[in-house]
Amino acid sequence: MARYQDAQGRWLLEKVVRDVVVVAVIGLLLSAFWPFRQVPTGSRGVLTQFGAIRGIENEGLAVVMPWQRLALFSIRAEQAQIDNADGSTSDQQPVKVSLTVRYSIITDRVAEVYEKYSHDGDLSSYVQTATQEVFKAVTAKYNAPDLIAKRSQVSTDINAALKQKLEVYGAQVINIDMRNFAFSPEYMAAINEKVTQEQLRLAAENKVKTVEAEQKQKVAVAEAEANALKAKADGEAYATIKAANAQADALRVQNEALAKSKEVLELRRIEVERVKAERWDGKLPEAIYAGTPIPFFTPAQKAD
């Protein structure tokens, strides 16, 4: 501090002002000619010298000479909004859509884009114009029903065509979102009516199919019941035939046995007489008619 005071302790303002000015000038010079710059993440540094591009600096530290300039150029994903883009189908139906296009600058074409189109990487105006043109060209290839039924294919076609368009400007498409896809109110009303009629037709067809299925089920049940009754009748008839055959066989065997043995016939007669005796109560009939048999009574025959 003694440097800025005299022998009596008074401040020497001239020296103070002079040193302050010197320090300020040195600071300004260092600031103006400081050679180190920083390129942030998601950017490139465009190094120019007297207006001409001398190089592209990557993210990180860059050395810039006093006679050069460093401009920051974004390579981050950007987006462009296209509201109510209009087109016309091959069958002359007007159609509108809103799109959001996300894009980014191709890193090895930064110098070209900086020189021809944008000093900061914003190409939204070019993207909007290119998207409008592409949408008109793609929708003209489809009729209105196909444009609705093949919406995913339409989106793919727009993406492919826009990719070619933006490559001219040194940009690449990341993705495209389509919103508010709509035709004229009259055409939308016609579509809704057609959809309603189709739903009614399908409902009627389903009802007919249901009735047919029910009828087939009833026929199947009736056939099953008829088959069951027939099977039962066949079984009963078969059983009857078998029983009759068995009885006939028994009678045939019995008759054959009777025909072959008189002793069997006599035995049967004795059995019959025994049954009669068991059943007789011991009383003789009060009236005897001619030819009426009396148990255990056999009148003697007169000899001729």
Tens of pLDDT, residue by residue over 14-45, are 766 776 776 777 667 656 556 778 888 888 98
Q: Which residue has the higher pLDDT, 11 or 130?
A: 130
Residue 84 pLDDT: 84
First to last CA, the chain: 200
Residue 2 pLDDT: 61
CATH code, residues 75-183? 3.30.479.30
pTM for this prediction: 0.53
Q: How far, CA to CA in Å, does 50 sit from each of 44, 53, 178?
A: 19, 9, 44
Residue 152 pLDDT: 86
Structural domain boundaries of the chain? 13-72, 75-183, 192-273
CA geometry: angle 17, 20, 25, nearest 5 deg? 125
Q: For 187, list phi and psi in degrees, rounded to 5.
A: -70, -40
Residue 9 pLDDT: 62
Rounded Cα distance, 235 and 148, in Å: 67
155-183 average pLDDT score:
90
